[in-house]
Amino acid sequence: MDPPDRVVGVDFSGARDARENVWIAECERTDGELKLVGCAPASERLAPTGTDPVATTDALVSFICGLDGTAVGLDFPFSLPVPVAHGLGATTWRETLDAVATYDDASAMDAACQDATPGDRTYARRACDEVLDSFSPYHFFVKKQTYHGMVGVLRPLATAGVAWVLPFDTEKARAAGSDSRPRLMETYPAAVLARLGLHDERYKGSGQSECQRREHNLAGLRDHVTAPDSLADRISADADGDALDALAAAVGTDVAVRERVMPQTADWRVEGAIYPLTNGAVEMSS
């Protein structure tokens, strides 16, 4: 699988106002150089038919279906820790998607996951969460992202077979060779920024220090992707940092596909990985 000519980063949200909080950064590769060609919220780029999160996830699924030959980095957990998945009756990643979909909302999923958590902990983490010190997928800070991402985005795409979800579909994608289905990867903008030596916190907000950190991060990301000043100004002006996170997701995804990495943890077929990997990686063969 060669690096694709198009890379998309999605800063995802399962919040009530997802149409404004989901941002999409679109990049194209020309003569080996990655260029940012668009960065906008879902309300503008996807035009969802409603204001609820489901309308936004539906619009995002339709958008991804049209991204032939594209690597897509999505900022939400793709999976659950192995013991929790097993506690919900799932032994594979696709069974985990089905298990999560049986719950009516993120709170019901969270309660079931806590019941399935071994030991005295409230939340269990995946191997990739442990390495990056990121939240458990069902932690109250991210449970809505996880629920809407897994049920509303990944499950319909995986069920229809219209996208490769990595690393779960790596062998199938390799065997398919030049298949043009989009490749979806879980990414984590804060980890991307940290890997690049940039600020991974306190860059969201309208204060002077937050603005300066955002500008610093944007300059660092522009070392890896060419961005026209008009889009750079828009990213910098977004005090919530969602636009910057979308760009970081795109850059992290590009790093992952160029480095052709695979997880090295024992349970990656159920737990997956966060790209670009920091929990050990091996080179993917063509």
Residue 44 pLDDT more than 50?
yes
So what CATH class is 6-75+173-283?
alpha beta
Q: Over the stretch 124-154, which tens digit does the pLDDT of each residue have?
A: 999 999 988 899 999 999 999 999 999 999 9
SS3 string, the chain, reads CCCCCEEEEEECCCCCCHHHHCEEEEEEEECCEEEEEEEEEHHHHCCCCCCCHHHHHHHHHHHHHCCCCEEEEECCCCCCCHHHHHHCCCCCHHHHHHHHHCCCCHHHHHHHHHHHCCCCCCCCCCHHHHHHCCCCCCCCCCHHHHHHHHHHHHHHHHHHCCCEECCCCHHHHHHHCCCCCCEEEEECHHHHHHHCCCCCCCCCCCCHHHHHHHHHHHHHHCCCCECCHHHHHHHHHCCCCHHHHHHHHHHHHHHHHHHCEEECCCCHHHHCCCECCCCCEEECCC
- For the chain, the domains span 6-75+173-283
* Model confidence band, residue 2 (pLDDT cutoffs 50, 70, 90): low
Residue 274 pLDDT more than 70?
yes
What pLDDT is recorded for position 175?
86
Residue 279 pLDDT more than 60?
no
